[in-house]
Amino acid sequence: MVRTRHCPPAVRLGRLQKAVQFFDAAVVVQSLADEDGEIADAYVTLCVQAGIAASDVICCARLGEHAQGENHGEAVELLGKADKDSAKHLRTLLGMKTKSGYGYATAAADDCKRAGRAAEVLLETARQVNITLSRSQCPRDRAMRNRNSSKPANILPTDIGWQGTAGAAIGGRDAVKAKQSPPQRRSSHPLKVETRVRTPLGLPGQRCVSDTSASDFQQTCQHGWP
C-alpha cells in the first residue's frame, strides 16, 4: 500500500516553492561551470530534487495527497494516477538519483540533458495544475463561472408575464400594471363598415314651417311620418 500524506494548500505551495528553488539552483550551477563534467553530479541531483518536489505538487493538486517514504516505485505509481506523462519523467529522474548522489561515477553529459528536460517538464506541469486549482478555489472566479454557466429554467409565457427564475420579477411587475391600467377599447375590424341612418326631419315634399307656433310645428312633423 502506498504511503501518502494529506496536502493542505500550505503543503502544496511549499513544495512548489522548493521545486522552483532546486531547478533555479541547477540552472545557476550549470551556467557557472566551465565544463559540464565539473558539475554534472550536482546538476543532476538538483534536477532530481526539483522533479520530486514538482511531482508532489501535481499529486496534491489532483489527488489531494502525495507519496511519503523512500519507495520510488510507490511514488511513480501514485503520480501515474494524477498524470501518466509526468510519471514517466519522474521515473527517469529517480533512475539517476543513486548514481549522481551516492555513486562514485560521474554523470554523463547525456544524463544531464535528460535530467534537465525531465525536471523542466515536471516543474511546468506543477505550475499549471497549481494555477488551475487556485482559480477553482477562488470565490470570485467560482461565482463568475457559475453565473456564466447558469441558464434560466422552466421559462414559459403566461398571461401575467414569464414564469421561472429569470421572469418572476417581470411577470409580477406586468401583473401589477395590468391591474392598474383600465381596459382599452378594442378597435373595429378594418373591413367592418358601420352605417348610420340619418333621421329624416319630414316626409319628402313636406317641410316644417318655421313661422307657425311650437304646437303646430310639432303636429305637422308628426303627421309627416308614415
Q: What domain count does the chain have? A: 1
pLDDT band at 202 (very low <50, low <70, confident <90, very high): very low
pLDDT digits (tens, 9 = 90+) for 54-106: 999 999 999 999 988 788 888 999 999 999 999 999 999 999 998 898 888 88
* Position 194 in a domain: no
* Position 59 in a domain: yes
Q: Which residues pair with 163 in a beta bridge?
A: 156
For residue 70, give the CATH number of its domain: 1.20.120.330
Q: What is the pLDDT of residue 146?
A: 59
* Position 182 in a domain: no
* Position 62 in a domain: yes
- What DSSP state is assigned to residue 29? H
Q: What is the pLDDT of residue 70?
A: 80
Domain interval for residue 126: 4-148
Q: Which of left, alpha, beta for 69 (phi over 0: left; psi -120 to 50: alpha)? A: left
* Position 36 in a domain: yes
| Three-class DSSP category at 137 | helix
The grid coordinates listed for 103 are 555513486
Contacts from 134-137 at CB under 8 Å and sequence distance 24+? 137/9
- What DSSP state is assigned to residue 161? E
* Position 213 in a domain: no
* Position 79 in a domain: yes
* Position 160 in a domain: no
